[in-house]
Amino acid sequence: MPGSAPALRSVLGSVVAEAVGTVLAAEFLLRSPRPARGNAGVPASDAEFARRPVDMSMLGRLMMGATNLDDRTLRVADADAALRAFAHACREAPGSGPESGSGSGSAPGPGPGPDSGSGPDSRTAQEPAAAVVALAPAHETEESGQDPVSLAELSRASGVAVVRGTNGGDALRAAAVASAGARAEAVRAAILADLGAHPARIEAAPLDHAVAGPAGAAGSSLGRAGVVGLVSADDPVVLVAAAEAAAETGVALVLAPIVGPSPDAALHAVECALDRMEGAGLDRSCVIVTGASGLIAGGVSARDRTRVAPGAGAAPAWTRADAVAPRIGVDASALDALLDLGAHVCFDDLGRIPSVRTIVSDHDVALAILRCADRGAGGRILLSSGIREKHRLTAFGGNGLEFVPQQFLPYLGRCGADEALLRAVGGGNAARVLAVAPDGDAAQPDAAQSDAPPSDTAVAPHRRTTRAGGTP
């Protein structure tokens, strides 16, 4: 029961963590970006493109990064179709349930009607839930977009458990010119309100008896947030306030992607952010670091320069070679450094159609996950498609939310991951870190999902000793 076991706090109530199958840990579902002001200095053709509704003829430019307001807008109808497709893919995917490696489904098909009394929080152990984390945007250039009532209706209609993220964004915008102390208090208060102050101590009502009321109101389960995020590290004051709120309520915090001038600089920024949050009382094991592919991308870093720079007085050879053909793929030392930070790591950009600008491919991510498992860190890896643009949805030519259960997890298995690792990265790890224990503290990792070496655990995630079918 949700009141006696660690559970995810979805917008429709509690979902027992052990009943959760596939989890996408860093999605958005709804986005409402503000239109840019003016177009001074922008070519007329680009300005016209930016205002056009998305259609198939635009996909090439959009995949190469062209700006379009409609592409960055995700409406309720878009999210509804995406969630239904995800639920269907989870049901059909082999071995996606938390206790099954034989092909039992992980979610029902397109969901029940609003009065049926069934939903994510009423599943049985034989019918594990699929879940999606719907994060709030980390920057002020967007409206929040994450309307709690809309998310609740989307969850009810699709049968997918939706965990809403909160970051106090509206309060932050309102206090943008206030002092640091006022900003921190406004953000902290807004996050606590969204979480219901102490969400783990408020038993969620059954779906058909949910109490309608403001999100976060005591006694109301409808629309309540269940995770803090996205949170940007750009403003240390806000970062600390968000960490304090997460620590007080026992929920996880999702850190926004950090981009630096080099992989080393970005990793250092992540480390500094984790240190600040730890100082605010939030253990780094409760933090989910997103944007992992960018942090481990192959390229010119301090390690490379140290390794390949010629003797004193000679021109640095790396500047000539890498200026023309920068390396691609994963920097193994950067991956190891990221794992050493101790946080959960989310590969949240899966399913992008590769282009000439692709540095870390989905194949690279699969091999990186196997390396993580070999290092005993398979219990800290999370997955997501991270869809922020309309053209990545199936309806507009992309791979959609269903890419992870339908394509990536089977591919990871063919690369050598065993069933324990597939269950862990496919949803078990995310369910564990997102779960809130009955006493209000974050649920602790169990032995099967810990980072201890395989010999010290009962069922440690790892790769197969022999690869099934060879490497694709």
pLDDT for position 339 = 97
Find the mean pLDDT for residues 403-414. Answer: 97
222 neighbors 148 (Cβ within 8 angstroms): yes
The fold of 7-34+51-296+331-456 is TIM Barrel (3.20.20)
* pLDDT tens-place string over residues 133-180: 999 988 766 666 678 999 999 999 999 999 999 998 777 666 665 678
pLDDT for position 168 = 83
Tokens representing 269 are 């920024």
Average pLDDT of every residue of the chain: 78
pLDDT for position 38 = 73
Residue 23 has pLDDT above 70, yes or no: yes
pLDDT for position 138 = 82
* pLDDT tens-place string over residues 232-265: 999 899 999 999 999 999 999 999 999 888 888 9
Percent of the chain with pLDDT over 70: 70
pLDDT for position 145 = 61
Indicate yes or no: pTM above 0.85: no
Domain boundaries, the chain: 7-34+51-296+331-456
Residue 287 has pLDDT above 80, yes or no: yes
Q: At what angle do helices 76-92 and 148-158 cross, to 10 degrees?
A: 30
Backbone angles phi, psi at 256, to 5 degrees: -65, 155
Lowest mean pLDDT among 189-193, 218-222, 363-367, 392-396: 218-222
345 neighbors 285 (Cβ within 8 angstroms): no
Cα 404 from Cα 383, distance rounded (Å)? 8
Lowest mean pLDDT among 12-26, 139-153, 169-183, 458-472: 458-472
SS (H, E, C) the chain: CCCCCCEEEECCEEEEHHHEEEEEEEECCCEEECCCCCCCCCCHHHHHHHHCCCCHHHHHHHHCCCCCCCCCCECHHHHHHHHHHHHHHHHHCCCCCCCCCCCCCCCCCCCCCCCCCCCHHHCCCCCCEEEEEECCCCCCCEECCCCHHHHHHHHHHHCCEEEEEECCHHHHHHCCCCCHHHHHHHHHHHHHHHHCCCHHHCCCCCHHHCCCCCCCCCCCCCCCEEEEEEECCCCHHHHHHHHHHHHHHCCCEEECCCCCCCHHHHHHHHHHHHHHHHHCCCCHHHEEECCHHHHCECCCCHHHHHHHCCCCCCCCHHHHHHHHCCCCCECHHHHHHHHHCCCEEEECCCCCCCCCCCCCCHHHHHHHHHHHHHCCCHHHEEECCCCCCHHHCHHHCCCCCCHHHHHHHHHHHHHCECHHHHHHHHHHHHHHHHCECCCCCECCCCHHHCCCCHHHCCCCCCECCCCCCCCC
Cα 18 from Cα 54, distance rounded (Å)? 40
When mean pLDDT is compared over 38-52, 53-67, 406-420, the highest value belongs to 406-420
More confident residue, 138 or 290: 290
Residue 64 has pLDDT above 60, yes or no: yes
- pLDDT tier, 199 (very low <50, low <70, confident <90, very high otherwise): very low
When mean pLDDT is compared over 133-147, 208-222, 325-339, 340-354, the highest value belongs to 340-354
Backbone angles phi, psi at 280, to 5 degrees: -85, 0
Lowest mean pLDDT among 41-45, 51-55, 220-224, 415-419: 220-224
More confident residue, 386 or 38: 386
Residue 18 has pLDDT above 50, yes or no: yes
Residue 217 has pLDDT above 70, yes or no: no
More confident residue, 213 or 144: 144
- pLDDT tier, 327 (very low <50, low <70, confident <90, very high otherwise): low
Find the mean pLDDT for residues 33-46. Answer: 81
Q: Which residue has the tokens 């101590």?
A: 201
Which residues on neighbouring strands pair with residue 238, listed in sequence order? none
Find the mean pLDDT for residues 222-228. Answer: 91
More confident residue, 215 or 197: 197
